[in-house]
Structure formats: C-alpha cells, structure tokens
Amino acid sequence: TTPFLPENQYYDLLLNEVTDDNVVESFEYEINHPQGSLRQYLKYASIAAIVGNTIFVHGAIDSLTMKFVPSLESRFHLPETSPPPFKSIHKKATYQVNGRLIDDVHEWVDALNEYLQIGLDDFERRPNWNNERNSRGGEALLAIQNRPSMWGRSVVSVWYILKCFCSLQSTCHLPHFLFHHLGMQQLR
C-alpha cells in the first residue's frame, strides 16, 4: 500500500487505467482550484527565508543569483537582452526591464517573496493565455524557476548541483565573495 492513499483507493488505482486526461484533470485541479494542494503549497511557500542567522533558498545562492530580483515582466524563454549589470540599488527602486539588485539580504529576501506573491496574484487574475497567445498570468514564476530565462540568475533551481561548489565527499565551501557578503549581514 501507499502512505498517501487509503488502501481501497490505492487498489482502485491499480485496477483501473489512469488516462492522460485523468492526469491533466488532476494537475489542473491542483493548481487552478483554490483548495488544490499545489496552489496551497505555493500560496504559503517562500523563495527565500532567514531563520536566525541562516538563509534558506529553494535552490542556491551563487555569484549570479546573489542580490538579484528579476523583473515581473520576465518571460519563460531565453532573454533577448543582455543580463542586467551588477549595480546595487535600493529596494524601493522600480524594477528595470531586466530586474534589480538589492544589497541588504533581508530586503532581498522580502523582495523575492513579494515577487512570488505578485506572480501568484497575476496567475489568479489571468490563468489562461491571452488572445495573441504570447502572455499569461504567472509567467514570471515560470521564468524564475528556469535559470536560462534569468541569465542564470535565479535562486530557484533544480539543476544547480551541476555547478555546485560541493561534492558528496567534502564539506561545502562557499565562495569567498558570498561568504563575505552574507557574513557582513550576520548570516550564513
């Protein structure tokens, strides 16, 4: 049996064919319905969090991701512009076309989580493609989880391990610049 389903439902799944339509219907419910588990997870999720003197992100912080908050106009495709320059600006500054950089780690974390909530609100308002089929709500959230869409500048990453500074046999060592930046703000 499985810990996720009552025994009778588990056997029902084994005995009945699960179609592609069943899978699509289930996925659409989970994200589109206010009570869907994926929708609820994202509603209460954080891209980054600071607990005590430790920072947590969904993927990893590195020289490309540190301080960066993407533009809410980010699209889920390879960017047609150059990456934004590494020039720090204050949190209150408006988003530039390519995003913004925030020096203060607490403000950066707040801005990343605000980005998530604004993206979810956008998805709720516009869950479907527009008539031209070139935009839909929440597209910035699709982009932030895709490092190529962000010029490699996203802390949300499923493939960071490919370029991690760690190995399974050794202790993970943060690059000096990252250690210094976080250490100056009493974080690790």
Span 78-88, pLDDT tens digits? 877 777 665 54
Quick check: 30 and 38 in contact, CB under 8 A? yes
What confidence tier does 155 reach under pLDDT thresholds 50, 70, 90? confident
- Cβ count within 10 A of residue 51: 7
Tell me, what's the pLDDT at 166?
41
Mean pLDDT for the chain overall: 77
Quick check: 99 and 155 in contact, CB under 8 A? no
Tokens (6 digits) for 185: 């703000």
Tokens (6 digits) for 9: 């439902």
Quick check: 98 and 71 in contact, CB under 8 A? yes
- This prediction has a pTM of 0.72
Q: What is the mean pLDDT of residues 43-62?
A: 89
